[in-house]
Amino acid sequence: MGFPSDLQIARSASLRTPADVAAGMGVGKHLLEPYGHEVAKVSLDAIGELADRPAAKYVVVSAITPTPLGEGKTTTTVGLGQALAHVGRSATVTVRQPSMGPTFGIKGGAAGGGYAQVVPMETLNLHLTGDMHAVTAAHNLLAAMIDNHLHQGNELGIDSRSRSWRRVLDVNDRALRNIVTGLGSRADGVPGQSGFDITAASEVMAVLGLSVSLRDLRERLGRVVVATTAAGEPVTAERLKAAGAMTVMLREAIKPNLLQTLENTPALVHTGPFGNIAHGNSSVVADLIGIRGGDFLVTEAGFGADMGAERFFNIKCRVSGLRPDVAVLVATVRALKAHSGRHRVVAGRPLPPQMLVEGPEDVLAGADNLRKQIENIQLHGVSPVVAINAFPGDHASEHRAIREVAHDMGAPAAVCTHFADGGKGAVELAEAVVRAADEPTEFRFLYPAEMSLRDKIETVATKVYGAAGVEYSATARRQLDAYEAHGFGDLPVCIAKTHLSISSDPALKGAPSGWALPVREVRASVGAGFIYPICGDMRTMPGLSSQPAAERIDIDADGQVVGLS
């Protein structure tokens, strides 16, 4: 009999009630709002009620630059959360909510995998408590109110060509990337070119993830900029009188969702901001609750350390006021072999056979990426620990090669088998994290808020990405000047680039140098609170593959979901 599927493992779990899970965090039953028998919303009142409890050690899980297949950050986050209990420490896990687009596409669900999962799996990956739909509705309400304002006479003098607020949907659908709205009769609205993004790419999702309270959410939504007037003045959701209704639609969605891992570690699953054009981290409010819920809080940052972790440090931590103690950097043999430039990995296809042959020399050939990502953690004054996420086809010599590289960079490394063995398979990692958390750290932001936007972009590009410099298009230069003139210059930057390379070119592997970061356009997520320069072609609405996961997902005769992965 082969290894059981994630769904089979999840269904065999022995779950505790949400009240019992919450009690382990010190969260009282009166702070819970049950959603069925296995999930609960947590009231934001928990932030104040837990304030007198000691703060947990704060651990962020990131990775080297991943292959298109992903390297197991969520699985490692969950495995570490479970493993800490095996070494006598209590932990809470905070992760992003999965988007149903990838769930029905190539990637599948985002609950972890094997014996390191957040459960119940079906509920987590399919709707959960409806937060994604609330974000979709709030976003599209604003889109409708923009178009209605134009239709009703355009009192604000909006330049219809400046509209930047597209619509969103939590489905992979490439046919909606570019559309024309308002066709038909005069009563059908003002024609305009627009399109759809996936819900995770909505600024509303980023706003929800970075808000610290319901009032803060209301204020951030009011600051969202959707267009400009003919004179170039920003038009906000507040000026359109949309922010209040949007907040009402999100009043339940701002509350974190309490689930648990297979080993009953508390898991707060909340928000899912896109990792390319947004900060790619779970919510601030979940962390503000989880930081008082035990000895350790383990959270995950999207993509590699050059992206999710950099944004965690410089965007999320600025908002939350929390300071990380340890950063776990997930590395895999297959990813380092891919960074050697000797192998090509394609999403949805098996690994090339030559990648499965024992080859520590290939691992070492791609090790510059690991070195640079360790350095990116150290730039922020945080202690790195390398988690070697082991796969069945790995060889001991390849793991030794990774350990040696990490050791030379001053980072401890641990081989992890949590996918197959659950928490006990990540005990070595947990012990390394506990030791690192006891060491003094001096966390620091990469740049001060008062630095100019150009200097912030260039600091990230040269220090984190290893670029030689930055090249701005004429459009980008004008936009940066305008944002600073409008008072947005103190915002942090969230550089939108490929996640498949430290550089802006997905074809460049390892840790390339001597290249320039091309900034072709700059946009402002004023509500979320960051400026995002666009460096390359960003797909904000994925498409389905030739054999999407949706083809395999069904209901059996007993009403049970089948085919979910």
Q: What is the CATH number of the domain that holds 515?
A: 3.10.410.10
Instruction: Using the 3D structure, point to which of 206, 239, 272 is the last residue of a domain.
Output: 239
Instruction: Using the 3D structure, point to which of 239, 271, 300 is the last residue of a domain.
Output: 239
Three-class secondary structure of residue 43 per DSSP: coil
3-state secondary structure 138-192: HHHHHHHHHHHHHHCCCCCCECHHHCCCCEEECCCCHHHCCEEECCCCHHHCCCE
Which pLDDT belongs to residue 258? 98
Question: Based on the domain organization, do 231 and 371 belong to the same domain?
Answer: no
Q: Is residue 1 part of a domain?
A: no
Task: Name residues whose C-beta falls within 8 Å of residue 163's C-beta, 6 or more positions apart in sequence.
Answer: 146, 192, 194, 226, 227
What pTM was computed for the model? 0.95
With tokens 């010599």, the residue in question is 397
Question: Based on the domain organization, do 487 and 393 belong to the same domain?
Answer: no
Which CATH number belongs to the domain containing residue 309 in this structure? 3.40.50.300
Three-class secondary structure of residue 167 per DSSP: strand
Q: Is residue 107 part of a domain?
A: yes
Question: Based on the domain organization, do 84 and 11 belong to the same domain?
Answer: yes
Q: Is residue 216 part of a domain?
A: yes
Q: Is residue 564 part of a domain?
A: no
Cα separation, 45 vs 52, in Å, equals 13
Which pLDDT belongs to residue 107? 67
Q: Which domain holds residue 213?
A: 136-239
pLDDT digits (tens, 9 = 90+) for 351-406: 888 888 999 999 999 999 999 999 999 999 999 999 999 998 899 999 999 999 99
Which pLDDT belongs to residue 539? 84
Following DSSP, what letter does each residue of 388-405 receive, concatenated?
EE--TT--HHHHHHHHHH
Question: Based on the domain organization, do 464 and 393 belong to the same domain?
Answer: no
Question: Based on the domain organization, do 492 and 364 belong to the same domain?
Answer: no
Question: Based on the domain organization, do 262 and 366 belong to the same domain?
Answer: yes
Tokens of 325: 């103690």
Does residue 224 contact residue 243 with C-beta atoms inside 8 Å? yes
Question: Based on the domain organization, do 406 and 298 belong to the same domain?
Answer: yes
With tokens 């460049």, the residue in question is 508
Which pLDDT belongs to residue 67? 84
Question: Based on the domain organization, do 36 and 115 belong to the same domain?
Answer: yes
Three-class secondary structure of residue 67 per DSSP: coil
Where helices occur in 50-186 by DSSP H, the ranges are 73-86, 100-103, 121-125, 131-151
Instruction: Using the 3D structure, point to which of 187, 205, 239 is the last residue of a domain.
Output: 239
Question: Based on the domain organization, do 336 and 401 belong to the same domain?
Answer: yes
Which pLDDT belongs to residue 124? 93
Q: Is residue 382 part of a domain?
A: yes
Query: Of the candidates 538, 529, 537, 532, which has an alpha carbon nearest to the alpha carbon of residue 479?
Result: 532
DSSP 403: H
Which pLDDT belongs to residue 38? 96
Q: How many domains does the chain have?
A: 3
Cα separation, 299 vs 294, in Å, equals 13
Cis-peptide into 120, omega within 30 deg: yes
Question: Based on the domain organization, do 391 and 260 belong to the same domain?
Answer: yes
DSSP 162: G
Which pLDDT belongs to residue 264? 98
Which pLDDT belongs to residue 346? 81
Question: Based on the domain organization, do 125 and 147 belong to the same domain?
Answer: no
Q: Is residue 555 part of a domain?
A: no
Question: Based on the domain organization, do 411 and 530 belong to the same domain?
Answer: no
Q: Is residue 546 part of a domain?
A: no
Task: Name residues whose C-beta falls within 8 Å of residue 248's C-beta, 6 or more positions apart in sequence.
Answer: none
Q: Is residue 183 part of a domain?
A: yes
Task: Write out residues in the chain with pLDDT < 50, as ranges.
Answer: none
Which CATH number belongs to the domain containing residue 234 in this structure? 3.30.1510.10
